[in-house]
Structure formats: structure tokens, C-alpha cells
């Protein structure tokens, strides 16, 4: 299922959501401008390699949990990630506030990285992508706006149709699919057998987001009262 839009208005311009999207886009354009060998070296240097991170003498790898969440493995990878962030990130930023949102996004991404390293600490395959951080954003949206409507593109064999789904159904379905795929990936020889998707990074980012949003959500805003999610207009 692919989200097309939500019907959840914001009170302010999501400047930092747009900035994160722009940074991801610029990094991808830089990656795409490199020749094959340089691109490979770039991913190996700044992507998260669990086995390298686990070795204490590879100090340079300590920055890769952060840098890897601004890199992507292909055009569709970056487009789908940034589209999801565009749809769901604005409301989360609007609720948390800009500084809290940046902290939330980065910590969710780091939680995603930690989960993937924990599950597969010997892997030498670089992990890149904002999916883990965006999974945290989905978790926050689920907690804050469970009844918001999400217009969803649903593929059925060769046919496609659209339906408006409550956010709780759309996001819960997405999370269940990540868990099932992650469990399935444990029965094969390495994540590459499942298409190279870091499912446990998605799961880790989502769980981190569920916990973190509760701690970072303000009870009041500068206008004299926090608009509770259930009072949002759809």
C-alpha cells in the first residue's frame, strides 16, 4: 500500500521536514553523480556496516549510524521514503515543535540502526536509507493522529484502486508486514535473500518512535493550548 495524501491540516509550515527531504535529495544527487567505483566507496565509507561498527578500533564508523540515514540505494528508494516523510512528517513536526522534531527524527534513526546491528552484528553489508527514522515518524503519527484519514493506493494483482483508511489501520498494517518480513528474513541466509531490506531497522525505528513521542509531545503550545490529536479536522 502506498500513501497518497492525508487529510490532517497543520498550523505551521513544516520547514524542517522540507529541509530533511532536501538534504536527502541532495545527497542522492551527489551519489548519482559518482562513477560506479566512487559510489561504492562512498556507501562503504558512510553507510552503516554492522560488523565494522562493532569493532572498537574502527572509530570512523561511529558516525555512520547518522550519515547512513541520509543516503539511499536507488531512485525509488529515496522517492518512496521522502514521499512518506512528506505526508506524515508535517503533522508530527507541527505537534512536537521544530527542535523536538529534529531530535525525535535523529534518535528514531539511531534506534533503527541499533536494532539492525543487534540482529545482525556480523554483517558486512552497508545499510543506507531514512526508512528507520521515517518508521519512527509513522509511529508518532499513529499515537498522535490514529483517526486521521490516509488516501491509499492499494495494488491488487494488476489492478490498482484507492481507499481512505484510518491512519491506525494503514500504519498498523505496515508495521505487521515489517514484523512478518523480519521474522521471515531470519530463516534465510542473510538479509540479502529478502531483497536487502533492513526490516529490523524499520521495527527498531518504529518502537523507538512509539516511546519517544510520548516523552517529547508538549502538553501546551505557545498559543495557549496544545490541540489534542482527536480534535484534528479531517
The answer to whether position 108 is within a domain reads: yes
Output the pLDDT for position 188: 59
Domain that holds residue 8: 2-219
Output the pLDDT for position 232: 40
Q: Chain centroid to CA 110: how far?
A: 11
Output the pLDDT for position 222: 44
Coil, strand or helix at 155: strand
Output the pLDDT for position 158: 82
Q: Which of 43-52, 168-177, 222-231 has the lowest mean pLDDT?
A: 222-231
**Length in residues, the chain:** 234
pLDDT band at 191 (very low <50, low <70, confident <90, very high): very low
Q: How many domains does the chain have?
A: 1
d(CA 160, CA 152): 10
The answer to whether position 164 is within a domain reads: yes
The answer to whether position 188 is within a domain reads: yes
Output the pLDDT for position 231: 41
Q: What is the CATH number of the domain that holds 68?
A: 1.20.1540.10
Output the pLDDT for position 112: 95
| CB-based burial, 137-160: b 16+ in 10 Å, e otherwise | bbbbbbbbbeebbbbbeeeeeeee
CB 123 within 8 A of CB 190: yes
d(CA 54, CA 46): 15
Helix/strand/coil percent split, the chain, to 5: 65, 10, 25
Give the cell for residue 55.
569493532
- What whole-number percentage of the chain has pLDDT above 70? 86
The answer to whether position 230 is within a domain reads: no
Residue 196 has pLDDT above 80, yes or no: no
Q: For 197-208, write each residue's pLDDT tens digit.
A: 888 999 999 999
Residue 1 has, within 13 A of its CA and on its CB side, a CA count of 20
Output the pLDDT for position 151: 94
d(CA 19, CA 57): 34
What order of strands is seen across the sheet that includes strand 2-6? 2-6, 149-156, 159-166
Residue 185 has pLDDT above 90, yes or no: no
CB 64 within 8 A of CB 47: yes
Alpha helices (H) in 70-97, listed in sequence order: 75-96
The answer to whether position 165 is within a domain reads: yes
Let me know the angle formed at the C-alpha of 92 by 88 and 94, rounded to the nearest 5 degrees.
120
d(CA 116, CA 198): 7
d(CA 185, CA 3): 25
pLDDT band at 58 (very low <50, low <70, confident <90, very high): low
The answer to whether position 232 is within a domain reads: no
The kind and range of the H/E element at 120 are none
Amino acid at each position: 500500500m502506498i500513501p497518497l495524501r492525508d487529510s490532517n491540516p497543520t498550523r505551521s509550515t513544516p520547514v524542517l521536514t522540507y529541509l530533511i527531504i532536501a538534504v536527502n535529495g541532495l545527497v542522492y544527487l551527489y551519489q548519482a553523480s559518482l562513477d560506479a567505483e566512487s559510489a561504492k566507496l562512498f556507501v562503504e565509507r558512510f553507510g552503516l556496516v554492522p560488523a565494522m561498527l562493532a569493532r572498537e578500533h574502527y572509530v570512523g564508523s561511529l558516525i555512520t549510524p547518522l550519515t547512513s540515514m541520509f543516503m539511499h540505494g536507488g531512485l525509488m528508494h529515496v522517492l518512496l521514503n521522502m514521499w512518506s516523510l512528506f505526508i506524515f512528517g508535517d503533522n508530527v513536526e507541527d505537534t512536537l515543535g521544530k527542535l523536538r522534531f529534529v531530535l525525535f527524527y535523529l534518535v528514531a534513526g539511531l534506534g533503527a540502526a541499533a536494532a539492525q546491528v543487534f540482529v545482525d552484528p556480523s554483517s558486512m553489508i552497508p545499510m543506507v536509507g531514512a526508512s528507520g527514522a521515517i518508521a519512527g515518524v509513522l509511529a508518532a503519527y499513529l499515537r498522535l493522529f490514529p483517526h486521521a484519514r490516509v488516501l491509499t493506493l492499494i495494488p491488487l494483482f494488476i489492478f490498482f484502486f484507492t481507499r481512505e483508511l484510518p491512519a491506525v489501520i494503514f500504519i498498523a498494517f505496515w508495521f505487521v508486514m515489517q514484523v512478518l518480513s523480519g521474522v521471515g528474513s531470519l530463516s534465510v541466509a542473510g538479509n540479502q535473500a529478502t531483497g536487502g531490506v533492513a526490516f529490523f531497522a524499520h521495527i527498531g525505528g518504529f518502537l523507538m518512535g512509539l516511546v519517544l513521542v510520548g516523552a517529547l509531545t508538549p502538553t501546551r503550545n505557545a498559543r495557549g493550548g496544545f490541540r489534542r490529536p482527536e480534535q484534528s479536522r479531517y
